[in-house]
């Protein structure tokens, strides 16, 4: 296990299903983001914190919408940041926009 400060990795479209269904963790949190998106930068540290706090229980990943438009469209998303919460590969909750950290932890806690 690397102790890199950025524990939230980017995943590409090809890896997406594997992450959702092949993770040891039942809960997967996906942060849809883009480099040009200011609000996305505000929740980036929250995603890192979430990954740290729920290590071993929930997996947190990011998807760059610019290079993965099909996934973005697949979930009917129109704006970012959008954070999607999956349990056992099934979408359980979506939080769009900048939200307080508690809203993200509450969403994870409900699924654990």
| pLDDT at 2 (0 to 100) | 40
Helix (H, G, I), strand (E, B) or coil at 95: strand
| pLDDT at 11 (0 to 100) | 96
Q: Which of 28, 29, 40, 95 is catalytic?
A: 40
* pLDDT tens-digit map of 8-60: 999 999 999 999 988 788 899 999 999 999 999 999 999 999 999 999 999 99
Provide the number of structural domains found in the chain.
1
Active site residue 28: no
Helix (H), strand (E) counts: the chain: 4, 5
| pLDDT at 3 (0 to 100) | 41
Question: Which single residue is written with the structure tokens 């769009």?
Answer: 96
Residue 79 lies in a domain: yes
Residue 58 lies in a domain: yes
Exposed/middle/buried for residue 33 (C-beta within 10 Å: 0-12, 13-18, 19+) = buried
Q: Which of 20, 37, 47, 111 is catalytic?
A: 37
Active site residue 79: no
Residue 3 lies in a domain: no
* pLDDT tens-digit map of 53-84: 999 999 999 999 999 999 999 999 999 999 99
112's enclosing H/E stretch is none
Orientation of helix 101-111 relative to helix 38-53, angle to 10°? 50
CATH number where 104 lies = 3.40.30.10
């Amino acid at each position: 296990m690397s102790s890199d400060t950025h524990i939230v990795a980017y995943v590409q479209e090809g890896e997406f299903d594997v992450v959702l269904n092949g993770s040891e963790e039942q809960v997967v949190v996906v942060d849809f983001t883009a480099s040009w998106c200011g609000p996305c930068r505000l929740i980036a540290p929250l995603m890192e914190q979430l990954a740290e706090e729920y290590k071993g229980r929930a997996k947190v990943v990011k998807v760059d919408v610019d290079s993965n438009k099909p996934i973005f469209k697949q979930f009917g998303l129109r704006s970012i940041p959008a954070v999607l919460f999956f349990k056992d590969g099934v979408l359980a909750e979506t939080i769009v926009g900048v939200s307080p950290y508690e809203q993200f932890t509450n969403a994870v806690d409900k699924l654990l």
